[in-house]
Structure 1
Amino acid sequence: MKRKYILPIFLLIQIIFLKVLAFFPEVVEQYYSNGLYVFTSRFERTVLGKIPFSIGDIMYGIFIVYLLISIWKLRRTWRKQWKDKVLNILSGFSVFYFFFHVLWATNYYRVPLFEKMQIQREYTNEDLYAFTEKLITKTNEVQFAITHNTNQKVRNPYSQDSIFKMTQNGYDNLAKQYPYFRYEIPSRKKSLFSFPLTYMGFGGYLNPFTNESQVNYMLPMYSFPNVVCHEMAHQIGYASESECNFIGFMACIKNDDLYFQYAAYSMAMRYCLENVTMKNEVRFKALKKTINPGIIENYKESQRFWEQYDTFIDKGFHAFYNQFLKMNQQKDGLESYSKFVDLLINYYKGKELR
């Protein structure tokens, strides 16, 4: 067999292997998520975590420049050598695909958090309404505890670097109850690509090759702690967006700081209200009247922020990411972010918030 065919064939083997592996989540949980991944992720964070800037973003920048130069050169020889060029592209993608899954993405195939935590999957409309009411009460309470004024929006006074450090408190408290959510060896950084990330409509991402959690530093500050905790959940081996929303929420409300709690409660309440709107608009309007005006002002702050950057770019990237999620065990695509409401409602049945 000619060498140029080896990596493209290896790509096909990888795809088939992962399709089969999806039927064995317990194997992934034991040998990858709690085995190989623990070693590789800790090693990467130990080596890169103390570097104050994002190595992963720099790698991506170099790769993008290399890719653009390659495309420019390719235009001259594409017609004559297109078969060899296609094989080269498949070979490069094969290597990328291998390291993407070895270093992080195999976590897509692990045991779902529903099963791990023995949480039910289904809930009724009344369950949703009751939980949303409970969440509104709690969010109102925290908002007033911070501002002492129901009409005043929350302004987070901390620097972003301080918030990075303060997230550890919430994860430490959460790990006392659930040891498998333990977060060690920090690697939390402001993304060098925050401006394009904003146009793409993203609050952050995990670099799967360097295990650095990248956070968009342009975000409204009241929600910043929750975004950081979400990306940290990806670092400890959870790939599902709904699960990371749930873990990030838990790490925030377990934090001793009220601003962290507010970031989580206000985020969860927004997701619940969106679900209520889809099911019963009259009920939504009634619930909205019970929300402190200061919280609504924070929501408007976020809305104004994202509207500034609402272009075809974010719609294109969201369409791409939607398909990416569907290809990686998240059949609901971008809607999987809001699926964490299922986890919240069923987890808190018969329990008090916090």
Structure 2
Amino acid sequence: MKPKYLLPIFLLVQIVIVKTLALFPEFIENYYSKGLYPKIAHLNRTLFGAIPFSIGDVIYVILIFLLLRWIWKNRIDFWKNWKTNGLAVLSWLSVFYFFFHLLWAMNYYRVSIEQKLNIEKEYSMAELEAFTLTMIAKTNSLQHQITNNDTTAVVIPYTDPQIFEKAKNGYNNLPTPLKDFQYENNSIKPSLLRYLLSYMGFGGYLNPFTNEAQINTLKPKFSIPMTTCHEMAHQTGIGSESECNFIGFIAATKNDDVYFQYSAYSFITRYCLRNLDRMEEGKSEHFLEKLNKGVLKNYDEHDIFWEYYQTPIDTFFEFFYDNFLKINQQEGMISYSRFVGLMIGYEKVDSVQ
């Protein structure tokens, strides 16, 4: 067999192996998520954690440059040499697919938190309404505690590095059933590509090759503590976006710092309001009236920021990422909001215990 066919064929073999292993989540859980992955993550975060800038972003910039240069050099006879160029693309995809899954992405197929904790994430309208009222009360209380009035927006007084450092406290305080997701070796960075992330609609991401948590520090600061805790959840070996929101929310609410608590509760309250509208159009309006004006000012700050960066680029990447999540055994972009159900189910189980 000619060498140029090896990597493309290896890509097909890899896909078959990964999709077969995905049928055995307990095997993935025991031998990868709790076995190989923690060692890989520890090594990467030890190597890159102390470096003040994002190595992963630098790697991405270099790879994008090389890709564009290759396309430019082959532009004239690109389609004429479609077979050679196609094999080259498949070869690179094969290498990417291998390291993506080896270094992090097999975590997509581990045992779900829903199964681990024996919780049900489906809920009724009445349950969502009751939960939303509780979250509104907590959000209002924290906003008032911080500002000493109902009308002032919360302003976080920390620098980004201070937020990243304080985030560990919440993971140290995780309840016993979630101790599997302890966090060690900080590797949290402001993304060098934060303007691009803003146009793409992303608040942050985990680089699966370097295990660095990348935070879009352009976004409103009141939301950054929760985003940081979410990306740290990915670093602990969680692939599911809903589960990262779930673990990130609990870590932020268990943090001793009141600004982290506010970031988390204001975050989940927005999702509760969205989910109410998904179940019944206009349902959230009555609940919005119960929020303090200071909280609404933070929400306006959030909306103005994302509206400023709303372009066709954002629409494209939302479509792309929605389908990427579906390929990796998730429900698409709606996965993010599913954590509300996880929290409702978790509180039921927690209250019984």
Per the alignment, residue 335 of structure 1 pairs with 334
Separation (CA, whole Å) in 2 of partners of 1:82 and 1:305:
43
Per the alignment, residue 187 of structure 2 pairs with: 187
Q: Unpaired runs of 5+ in structure 2?
A: none
Q: Equivalences for 1:107-256 in 2 at 5 Å? A: 107-174=107-174, 178-256=178-256
Task: Determine if contact 2:326/2:332 at 8 Å carries over to the other structure.
Answer: yes
2: CA distance, partners of 1:245 / 1:323:
19
Q: Identify the residue that residue 265 of structure 1 maps to in structure 2.
A: 265
Structure 1 CA distance, aligned partners of 2:22 and 2:157?
45
Matched-pair contact (CA < 8 Å) for 1:175–1:182: no
Q: How many residue pairs are counted as aligned between the two chains?
A: 351
CA contact (8 A) 2:121 2:338 kept: no
State the distance in 1 between where 2:132 and 2:80 align: 62
Aligned 8 A contact 1:132 1:272 in 2: yes
Q: Which amino acid aligns with 1:338?
A: S
AA in 2 matched with 1:206? L
Paired with 2:71 and 2:3, the residues of 1 have a C-alpha distance of 23
Contact 1:204 1:215 in 2 (8 A): yes
> 2 CA distance for matches of 1:64 and 1:175?
42
The amino acid of 2:228's aligned partner reads V
Cα RMSD (Å) of the superposition? 1.3
Q: Does 1:318 align with 2:341?
A: no
Aligned residue in 2 for 1:61: 61
Per the TM alignment, residue 122 of structure 1 is displaced from its structure 2 partner at its CA by: 2.0
CA distance in structure 2 between the aligned counterparts of 1:117 and 1:183, rounded to whole angstroms: 19
* Corresponding position of 1:93: 93
SS in 1 for 2:78: helix
CA distance in 2, matches of 1:281, 1:313: 28
Shift, 1:121, TM fit: 2.7
CA drift of 1:343 comes to 0.2
C-alpha distance in 1 between matches for 2:23 and 2:297:
46
Q: Distance in 1 between matches of 2:133 and 2:350?
A: 14
Residue 27 of structure 2: aligned partner: 27
2:175 and 2:59 map into 1 onto residues whose CA distance is 32
| 1:348 equivalent in structure 2 | 347
Kindly, what percent of the aligned residue pairs are identical? 53
Report the residue type matching 1:6 in the other structure: L
Once residues 278 and 49 of structure 2 are traced to their aligned partners in structure 1, the CA distance between those partners, rounded to angstroms, is: 42
Q: Cα distance, 1:178 vs. partner?
A: 2.5
Deviations along 1:283-304, one digit per CA (max 9) or x if unpaired, are 4222222111111111001001
Q: Which runs of 4+ in 1 moved over 6 A?
A: none
CA contact (8 A) 2:117 2:177 kept: no
Cα distance in 1 for residues equivalent to 2:139 and 2:280? 21
Task: Please give the alpha-carbon distance, in whole angstroms, between the structure 2 residues aligned to 1:270 and 1:121.
Answer: 18
Displacement of 1:89 after TM fit? 1.1
C-alpha contact (below 8 Å) 2:46/2:185 kept by paired residues:
yes
Deviations 1:121-153 (A, max 9, x none): 321111111111111111111111101111111
**Aligned partner of 2:333: which letter?**
L
Q: Distance in 2 between matches of 1:101 and 1:280?
A: 39
